[in-house]
Amino acid sequence: MGKLPAEGTQARRFGKTRSAQSTALLEDYAELIADLLEGEGEARPTDIARRLGVSHATAIKTIARLKRAGLATARPYRGVFLTEKGHELADRVRVRHRLVVDVLRALGVPTESAEADAEGIEHYVSENTLKAFAQFLKAKG
């Protein structure tokens, strides 16, 4: 094992991970809501819960967080809708997801594994790493 990084450096790294963990959930919900709205025309809490494999109560709590963050609105009997800010977040997450999947596929990872792994990686990768991923793909052709 190599030498430990400086305390401040290590604390920043762990802090970045904790921050990413707290936003990953909202990002996943925003991305799924956008996909449901596009593909099904509506995003009902029941559908969100089923697709994310969580309870209805958990979905409702997280949708409330989205609303408090200004990312979504909900109307009784009408489902969940993204605000402009929510759509922007979903679009950013989709781009990150696709880029991570494309890099994993370029490295020879099977599609299903790449899609599953990207679900986690996409929330933790830095902008610098994303730029490097894009350059790698561009160079690879």
Give all domains of the chain, ordered by start, each with its CATH number.
8-83 (1.10.10.10), 89-140 (1.10.60.10)
Distance CA 32, CA 133 (A): 24
Beta strands 72-75 and 79-82: pairing type?
A: antiparallel
pTM score of the predicted model: 0.82
pLDDT tens-digit series, residues 28-68: 999 999 999 999 999 999 999 999 999 999 999 999 999 99
Predicted local distance difference test score (pLDDT) of residue 16: 66
| Residue whose C-alpha is closest to residue 86's, from 104, 63, 120, 53 | 63
Distance CA 23, CA 69 (A): 11
DSSP 110: -
Predicted local distance difference test score (pLDDT) of residue 4: 77
CA distances from 141 to 16, 103, 120, 136 (A): 32, 12, 26, 9
**Distant-in-sequence, close-in-space partners of 60: CB < 8 Å, separation ≥ 6:** 45
